[in-house]
Chains A and B, each alone.
Chain A
């Protein structure tokens, strides 16, 4: 018995480092490591991509064929108007799952271990958001690929499409901080999901995603005018169709900065204090 113990001890001892650790990784390296974690998890649990695949397909098909003829005379004409909108709506909706994911993480012991490591503290969240960029890119490709199959032709060409998708991803990254804040306040993943969707639906529906707001009542129009999603949709439409955007891109980037300035520090404060 004591002999067996000694062997285990000595094997273990031989693998133990002396008491000096390597220098902790920098902010970028730590964030990328967490992004790698997100990738690995997708590889092992591909089911979690279900929403990323289903939501864009559903939105594009349903809205085009259901409303297209009635709203714009023909589905082809409507698709030209709608597709940039479904692109935005899909990605905005998917950002809510970022919050759901973080809330799930908090409930596990892994969260405590990460917080006890000598790393840049936002790395866990920034890394998860970077991982989401890939999910969002996948969803964007699905929307655009499906659109192309259905006869959508972007006048702005590949560069216009790339610029539009890029802008959507930047907005998604910024908006996600709102959900990470929510994730650290609310108790369960499902309550984050419900609260997130309750906020996301007015944000995406009460905009110019589906129709030109010109015929809507004034009070609704005034909300639509300040809704950042409206400006994002306009910018994306113009970029995709090769029309130079007016002030919308600046407007969107300012909204992104505002979202990050408010919600990133709030998230980090909650992250540090989480008990």
Chain B
């Protein structure tokens, strides 16, 4: 397996704060790699080291075999970075921003102009092309930012929280772009605070907390490491849930828990057989269900299990019914 990014024992401190405290990463070529963690976990510092913007205090890192410190110039030829804060110039138009970066990448004047026009079209910014970026919405700025990163498709693209603060539509657009890039052979390393983003986009995920990787693997690896699956039952009525809890106590045990949705009952189960028995029990008791699902634990649950604290207040609302299939 060829590695696009390799990091070993990366450490970086700012004053008394140990921002990165021994990070190891191995990112295969052509994959999407998610670095997941709360604010202040060291995600941005790690990405800045890999993009040659910061020198690590300890440890080594390389991109496609080129050391990020000793061979920084070569690394810069292979990577693009979309930082957490829009890396476009708000005093210039969208068109000028893209032409600027294209020229700095070595495009001729004509090629730069053509490429800028093409990207503005694809990213739905053609109408705003000649307006100053200061007048753009957050979603438009982010799209322009990503467009600037793929003026020539990089071998490795770093995206630092690419969808933070975006509306759902812009968010899914960014996801589409990432998938298209990967289809084209680019390796993407993205950081995110959003568990569902890592879950949907990334082939492999590293969970970071306090500057360390506390878990690493595919989505399923991570979920498996936390253990059992989760059974979600949606009741046809409000009363149903209390009755179901009573009826299932002897099968699911005292761990049965309820969430804020009054129709929803969720419980961890050791194996699928237990789930089948529970559903059969409800049918016997004559308690109607509107939907049910047996899912792997959500990344929220993974994070809680790994760190002992929840990931981020804003992400608690990640509803399990997304994975539910309607009962016919």
Contact = CB atoms under 8 A, between A and B. Distances in A.
A20 B155 CA distance: 8
B122 interface: yes
Contacts of B48: 112, 275
Contacts of A109: 83-88, 145
A11 B150 CA distance: 14
B98 to A, nearest CB: 12
B100 interface: yes
A41 interface: yes
A116 B152 contact: no
B148 A273 contact: no
Given A21-B106, A22-B107, A41-B89, A15 B76 contact: no
A118 B73 contact: yes
Contacts of B277: none
Interface residues on A, range: 35 or more
Interface in A104-133: 108-110, 112-119, 123
Nearest to B141: A109
Interface in A1-30: 5, 8-9, 11-13, 15-25, 29-30
A45 interface: yes
B283 interface: no
B77 A118 contact: yes
Nearest to A113: B87
Given A9-B176, A41-B92, A24 B100 contact: no
A7 to B, nearest CB: 10
B153 A19 contact: yes
A40 interface: yes
Interface of B: 14, 48, 51-55, 73, 76-77, 79-81, 83-93, 96, 100-101, 103-107, 111, 118-119, 122, 132, 145, 148, 150, 152-155, 173, 176-177, 179-181, 183-186
11 contacts: A8-B176, A8-B180, A16-B181, A17-B152, A24-B105, A41-B89, A45-B91, A108-B89, A113-B88, A114-B104, A117-B105
Across the A-B interface, the 7 shortest Cβ-Cβ residue pairs:
A109-B87, A22-B106, A113-B87, A109-B85, A118-B76, A118-B77, A109-B83
